[in-house]
Amino acid sequence: MHLPRRPRRNRRTAAIREMIQETTLSVSNLIFPMFVLEGTGLKSEVKSMPGIYRFSLDTLLEEIKEVTDLGIKAICLFPNYSEDKKDKHASESHREGTLYLTALATIKDKFPDLTLMTDVAMDPYSSDGHDGYVENGEIINDISLEILGRMAVAQAKAGADILGPSDMMDGRIGYMRGLLDAEGYSNVSIMAYTAKYASAYYGPFRDALDSAPRFGDKKTYQMNPANAREALVEAQLDFDEGADFLMVKPALAYLDIIKALHDNFDIPIAAYNVSGEYAMIKAASQNGWIDGERAMLENLMSIRRAGARAILTYFAKEVAQVMNG
């Protein structure tokens, strides 16, 4: 047959395929979420996330040394607090000497070149388990901003490079940016959780932090999975308020949202390859139903292909190990 155009010619050898590959995945694209908890000498696996652990600060530092030696250049730290440290105002989140702030300062001191990202939300510290302040069963937006603002400044003071407001309160990016600039932290970046959906994929993460809401759900502040255009509204607000990155969470069920933000905004787009997405691959792989390593790399490549420059993923260490041979 006379076929002047044969696309298979460009797939004929590995060298040609590699030469024309449109999207690449590097360890430098990845941010590794990690968990710190109170105590010493602790390393506790998250049951629903095989291979992911909660660490006391001493063992966390050992793990960070291991992952940085593999080439990981950025982590995002989340705290696990006991119930007796939680209250309605998330007071522990900005108390001087608290576990989380101490951990941030210690990590930055021992690993000054590591990009250190934080979580800004009330739920790890709240007796209500919500991302904002609760009054009479309602999340009060503007009171929440004051608490989140104190949290943001405390984290910047402790040495954070990138703040990750995951709360989805209205106006929080501009409020935090104003406080940070006024306090002399204009170089601290904000990675806005711009399109954070009310997703079923967060379950294992809430196991890791014991941060599930004590009543109701998070649908009054997290986005409806049915909505795409609303993400552009949220993105425009975060962009105008001074966000340095726009994030989509989760990633795999929202590749269209990642692409929409990439196509419409000229700042880096990030995506969170969340705990449920990780757990599904791990469970299927352990049952022999899929090739876990190939599925991991294919999923992460799809997130990059959609337009994400940075990916928060629990696979970061495993990817680094694969790429290091």
pLDDT tens digits for 275-292? 999 999 999 999 999 999
Q: How many CB atoms lie within 10 A of CB 63?
A: 16
Q: What average pLDDT does the segment 160-179 reach? A: 97
What per-residue confidence (pLDDT) applies to 7?
Answer: 94
Q: What angle do CA 152, 78, 139 make, to 5 degrees?
A: 60
Boundaries of every domain in the chain: 24-323
Which tokens sit at 90? 């998330």
pLDDT at residue 266 in the model: 96
Helix H segments across 57-98?
A: 57-69
- What's the pLDDT band for 209 if we cut at 50, 70, 90? low
Residues 6 or more apart whose CB falls under 8 angstroms from that of 50 comprise: 279, 282, 286
- The catalytic residue positions are 196, 249
pLDDT at 216 over 80: no
Task: Please return the burial class of 117, using the count of CB atoms within 10 Å of its CB with bins 0-12, 13-18 and 19+.
Answer: buried
| CA 278/CA 303 separation, integer angstroms | 13
User: Was 234 annotated as part of a binding site?
Assistant: yes
Superfamily (CATH H level) for 24-323: Aldolase class I (3.20.20.70)
When pLDDT is averaged across residues 311-323 and rounded to a whole number, the result is 97
Chain centroid, CA 114 distance in Å: 16
For the full predicted model, state whether its pTM sits above 0.85: yes
d(CA 316, CA 310): 11
> In the predicted model, is pLDDT for residue 119 greater than 80?
yes
Going by pLDDT thresholds of 50, 70 and 90, the confidence category of residue 215 is confident
For residue 210, pLDDT over 70 is answered with no
pLDDT (mean) for 129-154: 94
pLDDT at 157: 98
